[in-house]
């Protein structure tokens, strides 16, 4: 399915899906998820997890998409439309709440992505393993040691946004998301051959049904 991208829309369904997945897959899904699985019942944790994923996707996500397509605007305009249909005001103020939440998340992620970029360069140059790993992280995490990397991430983000939905967000998503999955596949294969991998899989996935009580 292809659409015109001249009016700030995605030009293909796959471009939209990749961008949506890229915005949804955060640190919680990568770092916190396996930790929570092992902490709260292993495979038993997956039952309520997938249940709520299905529930929120079917109800919440479908509702968001439908409201967005109906109004053709963002959170502030959409909620303003809903309240005006009921003869009420204040929708834009209410819609600003999720925008402020997203802004807070974006600020945190821009710092973390700056760390990631710093580590990527440090790994290629050998600087990460040349000294103490704790000292390397402390040097960039405190005393504003990662400000240049942080600014570089913001500049790249601004450039992508200037290029627009189709020319910026969609294009970068079509490149970065496949690379993201390829890297995870490489990591998964590497982990499978590490000593104790079988015990690790058992720890994460073996159900402890008592946690469901």
What are 175-210's pLDDT values in tens digits?
989 998 899 899 999 999 999 999 888 888 888 899
For residue 196, which phi and psi values (nearest 5 degrees)? 80, 10
The tens digit of pLDDT for each residue in 99-150 reads 899 889 888 888 888 988 988 888 888 888 887 878 888 888 877 778 888 8
List the structure tokens of 106: 């974006």
SS3 for 12?
strand
pTM: 0.73
SS3 for 2?
strand
Specify the pLDDT at position 7: 55
Beta-carbon neighbour count of residue 99 at 10 Å? 12
């Amino acid at each position: 399915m292809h659409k015109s991208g001249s009016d700030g829309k995605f030009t293909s369904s796959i471009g939209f899906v990749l961008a949506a997945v890229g915005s949804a897959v955060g640190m919680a899904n990568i770092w916190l998820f396996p930790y929570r699985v092992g902490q709260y019942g292993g495979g038993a944790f997956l039952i309520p997890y997938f249940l709520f994923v299905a529930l929120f996707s079917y109800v919440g996500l479908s509702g968001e998409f439908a409201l967005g397509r109906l109004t053709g605007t963002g959170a502030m305009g959409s909620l303003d439309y809903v309240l005006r249909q009921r003869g009420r005001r204040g929708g834009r103020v209410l819609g600003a709440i999720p925008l402020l939440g997203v802004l807070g998340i974006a600020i945190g992620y821009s710092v973390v992505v700056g760390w990631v970029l710093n580590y990527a360069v440090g790994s290629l140059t050998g600087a990460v393993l040349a000294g103490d790993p704790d000292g390397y992280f402390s040097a960039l995490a405190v005393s504003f040691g990662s400000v240049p990397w942080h600014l570089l991430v913001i500049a790249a983000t601004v450039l992508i946004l200037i290029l627009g939905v189709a020319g910026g967000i969609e294009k970068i998503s079509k490149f970065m998301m496949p690379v993201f999955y390829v890297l995870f596949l490489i990591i998964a294969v590497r982990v499978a051959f590490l000593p104790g991998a079988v015990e690790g899989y058992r720890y994460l996935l073996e159900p402890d049904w008592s946690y469901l009580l």
